[in-house]
Chain A
């Protein structure tokens, strides 16, 4: 971890130790594990105080139906000022795949969250317009889940 990133992580931890449950380093990247309920606070702090003003990417992943917590949501933060990158990760269980939206912090989160909802079924509470984005509105299931078959359950018809 570079000194600059170390500084950010320390600052975040010192402000509220409950915000970061774990710090993972690998391949030159830093991942912070953040509890779902504090993701909005962490994101706002990272944007306002630490200058991570650009949400480069927001995506989800399914770790498999047998895993618990099953889903993860990754927030890839980037700064247009100091050019550092940081990943925040929220773990969600299958029974309660809810996480607060970050659209009020970055407008770009809107479509990313819709895509994650569409393909994985993660529900972003407080999202202004949480509709399917890539798949048709009457599509059944969430295609990127591991238990969703590659070719679907039945041939999809446009009728």
Chain B
């Protein structure tokens, strides 16, 4: 190497990094296994990872700023675009935060439908996770089977809300509209096929020795570290912490449903994989119970100043028409205060911090995204692992960059 080049390298600090064994590798943002636009600065010693620095923000669209300029009901459509694999979960957290500020009582049928749809969405989200996670590790065919199941759920969601990935189905005070005719029959059809599909996944993946050797003992994080890093959801339960907000901070009537909280003690990629697989069965159980509980009834809260009236009412009643006009044109005032509404989304604790100053627009909305926090623990999990295992660890975290960058 010429002295000139050496000097330049020395000044820029590149020489330190280019010693015989260490190198810096920039992975992403277009790398397919970073699940979106995540960039990782990997410091490598041969194939061993010395340090990982995640670089995020490529998808930042200022959603939290946008909330402050939109009326409460307009904010719902923004939430769809955060965690786009679990949009109904985002809808739920957002509308429940507003409902908490407004002190609204939600009718039984709306609660049941919310649980039903959220659990279907959780299964759909886990299907995408399993498919892409397996694809990252090298098992291609799983992806097609998973997406076939997800497609059926998206069709169900589409039939109810009109949207596949951006349903905006929940409204402050209830639902956008009731389930369509024949929904239960189609849902039952999906439910009848689903155990068979789960069997397929278990056969394809769970007993597979290649899968086991790629996941067991990889990406370990201890129970104390997992809590310290703020992990929630399946990642935390994969480290042996028995915590599920559906059971421990119940909302939408989850306390009346019968389900187990799967935990695995190992804290590695395999444990997180097992937790999510077992969660699919639990969600299946909850959907079954919710289907049994579907009784006819109102789907909107009795709060004419907040909830849009039915079209039929508007044709018959003057006051309904006035309320509709006022809600659409001016919005509704929310009493001053602040709330933090945590729910158990498919990836962990999704918390909405909402602050109102009494007007029709929120003063501050903050989303505590589970992916954001879970990704911050990536360096702790991947140091000392092989570079190929980093891909497996990212897959096991189940991140969605739309929610991380917001």
Contact = CB atoms under 8 A, between A and B. Distances in A.
Contacts of B241: 80
A62 B57 contact: no
Interface residues of B, number: 43
Interface stretch (B12-20, B320-328, B360-368): B360-368
A144 B57 contact: no
Interface string B51-73: 00000110010101110110000
A33 interface: no
Contacts of B406: 134
A132 B351 CA distance: 22
Contacts of A133: 56-57
B366 A57 contact: yes
Contacts of B340: 29, 56-57, 74, 76, 85, 87
Interface of B is mostly: mixed
A111 B374 CA distance: 11
A27 B337 contact: yes
A110 interface: yes
Contact of B64 (A26, A110, A119, A148): A119
A130 interface: no
B353 A108 contact: no
A92 to B, nearest CB: 15
Interface string A128-158: 0000111110000001101010100000000
Given A143-B65, A150-B69, A108 B376 contact: yes
B227 interface: yes
Contacts of B230: 54-56, 106-108
A101 interface: no
Given A29-B340, A76-B340, A134 B57 contact: yes
A114 to B, nearest CB: 9
Interface in B181-231: 225, 227-230
A110 B57 contact: no
A133 B39 CA distance: 12
Contact of A27 (B57, B69, B339, B380): B339
Interface of B: 56-57, 60, 62, 64-66, 68-69, 100-101, 103, 225, 227-230, 232, 236, 241, 243, 248-249, 337-340, 342, 349, 351, 353, 355, 363-364, 366, 368, 372-373, 376-377, 380, 405-406
18 contacts: A27-B339, A29-B340, A53-B228, A54-B227, A54-B232, A56-B232, A56-B342, A57-B340, A57-B351, A74-B338, A74-B353, A83-B243, A106-B228, A107-B229, A108-B229, A108-B373, A135-B57, A150-B66
Interface of A: 26-29, 31, 53-57, 59, 61-63, 74, 76, 78, 80, 83, 85, 87, 106-108, 110-112, 115, 119, 132-136, 143-144, 146, 148, 150
